[in-house]
Amino acid sequence: KATRILHDHFHEGCGVEISEAKGEFTLHGRTVEKALCLCAGSGITPLMSMVRTLHDLGEELDLCLIQCSRTASDVLFGQELAMLSRSMPKLRVETVFSRPSDLDSNRPGRLNKSQLALLVPDASDRTAFVCGPTGFMAVMRGHLLELGIPADRIFEEAFGPRPATTSKISAGEKAVVSFERSGFHVEADEDTTILNCAETAGIHIETACQMGLCGTCKVKLTRGEVDMSDMGGLSEVDCKDGFILACCSRPRGHVAVDL
């Protein structure tokens, strides 16, 4: 929500009052023998603070950090983490790519339980810190519990989006997106977002996170139904007015948007 507000209401020269960092998602004040940090997208932000703090204080903690991103070019803080790893022998950083490009040699696919067990064979001995989109966190929580980490050693920090509740598209089902003002019609399958369709049609939609978090890509749905995986940055009024997030909405059947 903050990103959207900054976009809409702030300009160069505006003053912003910022409080000190607050919250429970921290190593501070906890007895942690070994840690496992799991993140997706900008969920790495609070985990970076933990790693930097350990580094700055010279504290040695056996910490495995697994960052999930779409491709290698979406990895955040990659260089800094590589540098920190060199001076923190107990820090291990792993990356998993959900949509690897041909150049990405690392582990492909979404992080599942068996992959997690391979990456962290001693998971049950660790205290877990998980931060990412709501869906990611729910899935990871299930994996961690099944790998033997008790619930009271799993700490979570959600950022923003409420999960959407629209129905899913069946595999193989074809859909069509009509861009009403431009007059383009684009065919889509179950993996294609409204944003992908707009790109195919050569229509520009402004984006930022491309993860359903910031609301920058909101567009008005004028017909049909979409499967929207996240709703970050959309207000109640936006939802009532029919706005959807183009980056994480997949058309179900024939839909039309006001573009």
SS3 category, 130:
strand
The Cα 64–Cα 129 span in angstroms is 10
> Min. distance of Cβ 238 from ligand FES in angstroms?
11
The Cα 138–Cα 87 span in angstroms is 33
Asked if 164 interacts with ligand FES (CB under 6 A), we say: no
Closest CA to 228 of 241, 245, 216: 245
Q: Of 26, 49, 71, 207, which one interacts with ligand FES (CB under 6 A)?
A: 207
Asked if 212 interacts with ligand FES (CB under 6 A), we say: yes
Asked if 245 interacts with ligand FES (CB under 6 A), we say: yes
Asked if 198 interacts with ligand FES (CB under 6 A), we say: no
Listed in sequence order, the residues at least 6 apart from 236 whose beta carbon sits closer than 8 Å to its beta carbon are none
Asked if 140 interacts with ligand FES (CB under 6 A), we say: no
> Min. distance of Cβ 149 from ligand FES in angstroms?
31
Asked if 235 interacts with ligand FES (CB under 6 A), we say: no
Q: What percent of the residues of the chain are helix, what percent strand, and what percent coil, each to the nearest 5? A: 30, 25, 40
Asked if 210 interacts with ligand FES (CB under 6 A), we say: yes
Asked if 226 interacts with ligand FES (CB under 6 A), we say: no
Asked if 215 interacts with ligand FES (CB under 6 A), we say: yes
Q: Of 216, 219, 221, 226, which one interacts with ligand FES (CB under 6 A)?
A: 216
Q: C-alpha angle 146/147/151, rounded to 5°?
A: 70
